[in-house]
Amino acid sequence: MTGTVAAPGDDPLLLDRQVCFPLYAATNLLNRLYGPVLKPLGLTYPQYLVMLVLWEDEPQTVGSLGARLYLDSGTLTPLLKRMEAAGLVSRTRDAEDERRVLIGLTEQGRALRADALHVPETIAGGRSPEGLDELREGVRKLVAMLAAPGAEG
């Protein structure tokens, strides 16, 4: 081994000193947790997130969905095409601006909401609502900080 290695507690390249790693691990664990709960609904986790936004307010443009979910259109468009093929959403050109695509729910997509009502409680798994609210708020602050201008570089 060559070069100078920092003292163990000062090494900036220790895995435990990284902000990215616990977020990466949490994301993987959440995907594993949601997978079996969403499978009977025929949804992947990203599709579930799209449905949550549309159940709140529809139609949405692809751009507004992407902004809300922090996804670019290159990621979102194939996802939406699969959801359209599954009969959950419709994709139509905006009559006011043909460049925009509006995403709306089909009747099947609206009906799926009733089947998904158990998901948050199942995922919470008996954890305290207060603790989950506190965690959610802390993570929201982190997302806002990371999404702020200048946070990329």
CB 101 within 8 A of CB 93: yes
The answer to whether the beta carbons of residues 105 and 88 sit under 8 Å apart is yes
pTM (2 d.p.): 0.86
Domain that holds residue 99: 42-121
- Cα–Cα–Cα angle for 149, 146, 23, rounded to 5 degrees: 165
Give the whole-angstrom CA distance, residue 101 versus residue 77: 10
> What digits encode the pLDDT tens for the residues 23-67?
999 999 999 999 999 999 999 999 999 999 999 999 999 999 999
- The CATH code of the domain that includes 63 is 1.10.10.10
| Total domains present in the chain | 1
Report the alpha-carbon distance of residue 150 to residue 153 in Å, rounded: 6
Q: Is 6 part of a structural domain of the chain? A: no
- Would you say 83 and 47 are in contact if contact means Cβ atoms under 8 Å apart? yes
Which regions of the chain are under pLDDT 50? none
Task: Check: CB of residue 42 under 8 Å from CB of residue 109.
Answer: no
Q: Is 29 a domain residue?
A: no
